[in-house]
Amino acid sequence: MISLAFWATVINYLDRQTLSVAAPVLREQFHMSNVEYSRVVTAFMLAYTIMNGVSGPLIDKLGTRIGYALCIGWWSAAAVLHAFARGALSLGVFRFLLGIGEAGNWPAGVKVVSEWFPTRERAMACGIFNSGSSVGAILAPPIVAFILLTLGWRTAFVGVGAVGFLWLLFWWPTYRTPDVAPEPTCTPPAETKLNFRETLRVRFVWAFLLAKIFMDPVWYFYIFWFPEYLKNARHFDMASIGKFAWIPFAVAGTGNFAGGALSAWLLRRGVSVTVTRKGSITFFASLMTSAIPAVLVSNVWFSIALVSIAMAGYTGCLANMLAMPADVFPQSAVASVYGFGSMGSGFGGMVFTLITGWVVDHYSYTPVFIGFGIVPLICALVMWTLMGPLTYRSPQVAT
């Protein structure tokens, strides 16, 4: 079951990264500045933000099997539509449609984990399915660059987008909920039925949203801007981007498993869930500060190595963040809570993306890398100071 979520995440990132790899060509063809390109990316983030708040409750209501299928069917169709773009405006519209569907992948994946895995295994399970983002990002540069150079960018969007429909042929007849539920969480049985309004009264939900505002935009910067950085700041051509842009994403894949392994190791030694999750996130957030020297060194390969460490730090953080809603809430509310929290991800992504485009146009990539090396530490600070313990609190008394 977790392999199905893994492959859905691979496809999610193949579809998402097709624009990133094709961006140098599309920007020349459509005459887009950094600010205009940032607006196209922001169109995706706007839809992603809105639908994170919708897709989670929708998946909780419809069930994992139907909800996941609807999401991937929608975003696969939207990915194919990119081939019909005629300029920045139409490209932005299709990115908006893509964001509507792609927002459901993580609430659905988190719900798969909550249905099939006990507390001690959740961070690793989340790391496994989230490693699909790294695999998809690894595959995108060589695959998309090859198709683009041989058949054109329109064919690249159609070919990659069609893969999602193949996934549906496996998902629909295969996925089921387990016959025996995993070991219960700390949620009292008497309060396992929560409506979405009640969950919003729990302090964890708002602190989680705020933490994601300062964490996820770092990843969005790498996936949407890293090929552009290699081209404009490090003078890579399209063939070189296809050969080397996948390297940081390959290293990032190790962070998913390292994050899950560290969490599982601490839990086996009797460390509380609260200290385990927050401590693991703090450790991996500190690795993300390697983005600062990455932009300052002159050697491009050393720069790529430092970016790789930063990206592995992010995935180590996310493996634990993905597990947190299931630590606090029952299965019936997990997708809703994660989806609402991820609205912070989309909001932060929009704001930081627009800032990135403006700063790069007016200054350089240097202040951008420095900023994205610092903001993960703010995420960790929010968790330690505002989130409270990772135990269930009754909505009647939560603040």
Contact status, residue 133 vs residue 4, Cβ threshold 8 Å? no
Query: Residue 40 corresponds to which tokens in the numbers above?
Result: 């196209």
Contact status, residue 75 vs residue 160, Cβ threshold 8 Å? no
Amino acid 394: pLDDT = 45
Note the pLDDT tens digit of each residue in 164-188: 999 999 999 998 887 665 654 444 4
Query: Residue 287 corresponds to which tokens in the numbers above?
Result: 């690795």
Amino acid 193: pLDDT = 55
Distance CA 214, CA 211 (A): 6
Contact status, residue 208 vs residue 323, Cβ threshold 8 Å? no
Contact status, residue 248 vs residue 307, Cβ threshold 8 Å? yes
CATH of 2-173+191-387, one of 3.40.50.1860, 3.90.1300.10, 1.20.1250.20, 1.10.3720.10: 1.20.1250.20
- Looking at the predicted structure, is the pLDDT value of residue 79 above 50? yes
The structural domains of the chain, with segments of one domain joined by +, span 2-173+191-387
Tell me the pTM. Answer: 0.72
By 3-state DSSP, what share of the chain in percent is helix, strand and coil, each rounded to 5? Answer: 85, 0, 15
Amino acid 296: pLDDT = 92
Amino acid 180: pLDDT = 63
Contact status, residue 254 vs residue 312, Cβ threshold 8 Å? yes
Sorted by sequence, the CB contacts under 8 Å of residue 135 that are 6+ apart come out as 6, 9, 10, 13, 249, 253
Query: Residue 218 corresponds to which tokens in the numbers above?
Result: 């770092």
Percent of the chain with pLDDT over 90: 33
Mean pLDDT of the chain: 85
135-149, 156-170, 208-222: segment of lowest average pLDDT: 135-149
Amino acid 10: pLDDT = 92
Between the CA atoms of 273, 276, 277 and 283, what dihedral angle is there, to the nearest 10 degrees? 170
Top pLDDT among 34 and 258 is at: 258
Contact status, residue 315 vs residue 399, Cβ threshold 8 Å? no
Distances (CA, A) of 23 to 31, 84, 143, 163: 11, 15, 14, 21
Q: How far apart are the first and last CA of the chain?
A: 36
Mean pLDDT of 208-216: 92
Sorted by sequence, the CB contacts under 8 Å of residue 145 that are 6+ apart come out as 21, 238, 239, 241, 242
pLDDT band, residue 50 (cuts 50/70/90): confident
Please compute, for residue 91, the number of CA atoms within 13 A of its CA located in the half-sphere on the CB side: 25
SS3 state at 160:
helix
Note the pLDDT tens digit of each residue in 318-353: 889 988 888 888 777 777 888 888 888 878 888 888
Q: CB neighbours (10 Å) of residue 91? A: 22
